[in-house]
Structure 1
Amino acid sequence: MTQTPRAFIFDMDGTIVDNMSFHTKSWIAFLAKRGRSVDPDDFFRDSAGRQGHEIMRSYMGADLSDAETATLDAEKESLYRDLYGPHLEAVAGFESFIETAQEEDVRLAVATAAPPANIVFTLDGLDLRRHFDAVVGAADVARGKPNPDVFLLAAERCGVAPGHCIVFEDAPLGVEAARRAGMRAVVLTTTLPASAFAEFDNVICIARDFTELDIDALFDSSPLIQQAQ
């Protein structure tokens, strides 16, 4: 009997790499340069998973043109890469986890709000792209998380129904996007404590890193969920 196709879909920032503090630092420095002060924790909860142009318009003005947000985004992301570059590494156990998943015929995708340059910086910088059946980023969808677009496109490109996909996330907006896509979620507490995800009924496991996860147990952990309307 042919097994129903299954997929793991990974957020990138804060999930494949533990880098969200560097994103926050770069945003704070970027905004401070323009006379704007933000609380780091509040900023993360409001922004993690959203696309750069969405964040930029929230904090720099809703009337910014696409060209203006693109220029500002490029400046901010360059600052981030300079800060995080010396620290670039995968979360503990990630490479072993995805290699085992491939051996068990689980399809793999990345679904991130990151722009193309950051995807290259991370996936190619760590030589991880070769493992994935699909890589979907900010350039591929119009809306960031909590909208489900990026996860649904990743599932489509993998040829796997949403109900047979498990998303790996570190941010509430990402978990909500998975819920709206009809997908279960595993939370990595790289950035926020488990208590930050208590409201989500699609979370099937919370772990510190990938060494704590068992592939078969994840797929057996919960029945399929329905896509939210």
Structure 2
Amino acid sequence: MLKIYRPIGVLWDMDGVLTDSGEAHYISWKKSLDHHGIRFSREFFHKTFGMNNNGILSLLFERDATEQEVGDIGGLKEELFRKDIQGTLELLPGVGQWLQRFHQAGVPQAVASSAPQENIDAIVAELGIGDLFQTLVSGSKLSGKPDPATFFLAAERLGFAPIDCLVIEDATVGVEAARRGGMKCVAVCTTHPKDDLQDADIVVDRLADLNPNDIELLFKN
């Protein structure tokens, strides 16, 4: 059984950590932007994966995206995404084991994602893991990662200081957000290579490879 030497909270990113939804995101972005006559490359998608819609569109337009643009373009993208994922998602290797391991150790858990709340609710329901989380936090209307605002809100809802939180991420902007927020971080190489994730405390190819002893040592002192 996992031994945690002091109370902590675990903040899970969602896309690329709980499940591999990257291709569905790319396809729905491509469809929405094609509909609006805007070019969108896979290279740009990978560069911005993990950011919220406002951040992605602002980088794409090379200016601040308007509220209407985020609503129209991002809104269509999310509608397409939620339709496309139905019946297609599964937990990534090791995720179910770690969710249960933290749960059995009495460690509170949160989803802390840049995705809209509707996406988080839909994916958690699709995966059947809602009873393992104390809160589901969307950063879609907050300052986007690498700003740690989403993680700060999730930590606050769980009742923990940032120093007592573990973030599980796959994106470079998410790892940077955890570092800026003063949180420990495990990075999973679902969407980025190890070399891009070296600011994390621990980097693994998949959560099935994560050693419980390494988590225990992160919070021993």
Q: 2:210 aligns with which of 202, 209, 213?
A: 213
Residue equivalent to 1:48: 49
Q: Contact 1:53–1:70 at 8 Å: present in 2 too?
A: no
Q: Contact 2:11–2:165 at 8 Å: present in 1 too?
A: yes
Residue equivalent to 2:39: 37
Q: CA deviation at 1:207?
A: 1.8
d(CA) in 1 for partners of 2:145, 2:58 = 15
Residue equivalent to 2:126: 125
d(CA) in 2 for partners of 1:57, 1:129 = 32
Q: CA deviation at 1:159?
A: 1.4
| One-letter amino acid of the counterpart of residue 162, structure 2 | P
TM-score (norm 2): 0.88
Residue equivalent to 2:116: 115
Q: Contact 1:167–1:185 at 8 Å: present in 2 too?
A: yes
Q: CA deviation at 1:59?
A: 2.6
| One-letter amino acid of the counterpart of residue 163, structure 2 | G
Mapping for residues 32-181 of structure 1, pairs under 5 Å: 32-45=34-47, 47-60=48-61, 62=63, 64-138=65-139, 142-181=142-181
d(CA) in 1 for partners of 2:179, 2:64 = 31
Q: Secondary structure at the match of 2:108?
A: strand
Q: Contact 2:54–2:65 at 8 Å: present in 1 too?
A: no
Deviations along 1:32-70, one digit per CA (max 9) or x if unpaired, are 33333333133322x222211232333357465424422
Q: Provide structure 1 residue ranges, at least 5 long, that are not aligned to the other structure.
A: 225-229
Q: CA deviation at 1:163?
A: 1.3
Corresponding pairs, count: 218
Cα pair distance change 1:178/1:169, threshold 3 Å? same
d(CA) in 1 for partners of 2:51, 2:103 = 29
Q: Provide structure 2 residue ranges, at least 5 long, that are not aligned to the other structure.
A: none
d(CA) in 1 for partners of 2:197, 2:66 = 34
| One-letter amino acid of the counterpart of residue 181, structure 1 | G
Q: CA deviation at 1:177?
A: 0.4
Q: Contact 1:6–1:107 at 8 Å: present in 2 too?
A: yes
d(CA) in 2 for partners of 1:54, 1:170 = 18
Percent of paired sites with the same residue? 30
Q: 1:18 aligns with which of 20, 42, 62?
A: 20
Deviates more, 1:163-172 or 1:87-96: 87-96
Cα pair distance change 1:108/1:215, threshold 3 Å? farther
Residue equivalent to 1:227: none
Q: CA RMSD in A?
A: 2.3
